[in-house]
Structure 1
């Protein structure tokens, strides 16, 4: 019996089409079937976890996860099932720990001693740590705080001081007035620093809570550059230019950003720099195989010599969508088959 490629989805969520599937899932299934590789979709249900586990172990050669963890009632149960499948020899696309390692915002902190991420990038896992360190980091210029949960810019804040500090200041006083702009829709709010830090506690408490703190790069106004990757292959580049208004810095469509689709050849310097560092990135993020479909977002900066450099701002791999470019389903199908064949050959 030919083994299948199983695509995992979950019912519900705002990422589904009228048929109940993600709009980019069935194109991948059909592309695999056209190439002679059997494939099907299974909706994960925690109540049927054992039944699903047994079926996939028996019938699948590989799985592809197409679930936004935010749509799961029990994320840990899903990841636990995926780990069991990987331990049983099912090819994970991706392995659940790669999903966590590449997708969590604190991946950036693990890369601060590479040229991809500035050294003054911090992660706060406790409220105490946040309140102790953030007033010091804000001393050195405009900062961006990013929560680990949420999407489309929710809980990502640009924070800047309203007034100059005293010359002998060693940290920003708790009473300092700050201007905060949220990436979700570029709206502005004004706080005292102490009040804002109290407000941010919501991002640290609870499962997977944390805040990442990094310097604001003003060249974001020129656009964020997203590499769309299949394993180690850049397939296309999305240039995401924020809306042309004074406070806009968000590169999401929801916030009014303008998207342009380029070829990897149009961004040779960025692509070559990133690909040359991928082995190091993989090692620092746990040593897992690269995810099947993932993205790396970069912001332009200027180095000490006045040359362009690219700063990694975020990676996503839990469920990267390509609904506006469904023809990429054929690239994905080819990559899945190539990966399966590569692993089968290694096992011989």
Structure 2
């Protein structure tokens, strides 16, 4: 089989995002926020089809996806009170159809559960991006272990296992060794610091065990005000960077949490060759991504077509060079993306399609 020709003329890829029935009927490549991804796929000879999802018409979406060669999914874990509880089983079913498991799904829900949750911070804590990180698997363990760790180790950051937009992420600081009152600040935009009894705060967090299964506990990184570096990756290759002066977990100014002074700065996007991030790029491509794949048992073909790893600056070494601490991996809905990323996505999709065609030709 001429797989190059087949890839160029016959491959049909769905781009799926959440919306209502009206937006499903009106969706086109040109009026979606993914227009540049559509364009990059088309330039690579791959036809991309917009697919809008909601639970109310899930069966129609399922039937549509089963006609595709692949599915690229952009759906947040939590969006306006809705989760992926119904979508993930649908995607698993679609990906499992047929002897060659076509269409393939990126990111597959099982891959998201390995790398797109906060538990990855604990599972990879021994890698070069790791920090002082602990995992509470039950509310009982949380109640037993967290208070002493908080008083012994300085400010901590607690994170529910699944979430986005700062939901369920808290900075927690003991006011004194003897006092049971703590100062907490939610990472959700507009939040104000609170001083409340530790037991009251811990009770507030206990529902996270039902939703995400665990709570992750990391040491607070004092260089947070210097910003967060978002490393965008397509497959196993870095596709660009974003640097942003974030305000989450930083107390708001006197003007208040809704004032202009309290808003995060713009995310400044850079291509993969940006000089200031080459040390991080080398670490990601040469060390950390291969190690991540080994720890999580994920092969190259299963890595998301687009994902990102968010880093804070860690302590400088003896020569003054920066270190980096992983604070999150986004694998389910990575957007916005650098200008260079759509072409990287198209290259990765084209390679996935080629591999699928070659596998089917060899059967």
TM-score (norm 2): 0.79
**Equivalent in the alignment of 1:42:** 51
State the shift of 1:134 in Å. 0.6
Distance 1:84 1:136 in 2: 45
State the shift of 1:48 in Å. 4.8
**Equivalent in the alignment of 1:2:** 10
Contact 2:155 2:220 (C-alpha < 8 Å) held by counterparts? yes
1:282 aligns with 2:293: yes
**Equivalent in the alignment of 1:85:** 94
1:110-134 Cα distance to aligned partner (Å, 9 max, x none): 102222212x312223211111111
1:340 aligns with 2:353: yes
Distance 1:177 1:210 in 2: 24
Distance 1:295 1:131 in 2: 32
Contact 2:20 2:52 (C-alpha < 8 Å) held by counterparts? no
User: 1:254–1:291: structure 2 CA closer, same or farther, 3 Å change rule?
Assistant: farther
Contact 1:149 1:208 (C-alpha < 8 Å) held by counterparts? yes
**Equivalent in the alignment of 2:34:** 25
Q: Could you list the runs of 5+ residues in structure 1 that have no partner in the other structure? A: 166-172
Distance 1:241 1:223 in 2: 4
Contact 2:135 2:215 (C-alpha < 8 Å) held by counterparts? yes
SS in 1 for 2:208: helix
Contact 1:152 1:254 (C-alpha < 8 Å) held by counterparts? no
Q: Could you list the runs of 5+ residues in structure 2 that have no partner in the other structure? A: 1-8
1:195-239 Cα distance to aligned partner (Å, 9 max, x none): 2212222333x3324321100110111111110111112121111
**Equivalent in the alignment of 1:193:** 198
Distance 1:248 1:7 in 2: 38
User: 1:245–1:294: structure 2 CA closer, same or farther, 3 Å change rule?
Assistant: closer
Distance 1:134 1:219 in 2: 23
1:202 aligns with 2:210: no
Contact 1:225 1:297 (C-alpha < 8 Å) held by counterparts? yes
**Equivalent in the alignment of 2:19:** 11
1:226 to 227, 230, 235: 230
**Equivalent in the alignment of 1:311:** 325
Contact 1:24 1:329 (C-alpha < 8 Å) held by counterparts? no
User: 1:244–1:134: structure 2 CA closer, same or farther, 3 Å change rule?
Assistant: closer
Contact 1:12 1:20 (C-alpha < 8 Å) held by counterparts? no
RMSD: 3.3
User: 1:344–1:126: structure 2 CA closer, same or farther, 3 Å change rule?
Assistant: same
Contact 2:116 2:329 (C-alpha < 8 Å) held by counterparts? yes
Contact 1:98 1:286 (C-alpha < 8 Å) held by counterparts? no
**Equivalent in the alignment of 1:127:** 139
Contact 1:299 1:311 (C-alpha < 8 Å) held by counterparts? yes
Distance 1:84 1:281 in 2: 26
1:293 to 283, 306, 317: 306
State the shift of 1:297 in Å. 0.6
Distance 1:218 1:229 in 2: 26
2:75 to 67, 75, 78: 67
Q: Mean alpha-carbon deviation: is it higher for 295-304 or for 21-30?
A: 21-30
1:237 aligns with 2:241: yes
Aligned residues: 331
State the shift of 1:46 in Å. 4.0
Distance 1:65 1:151 in 2: 16
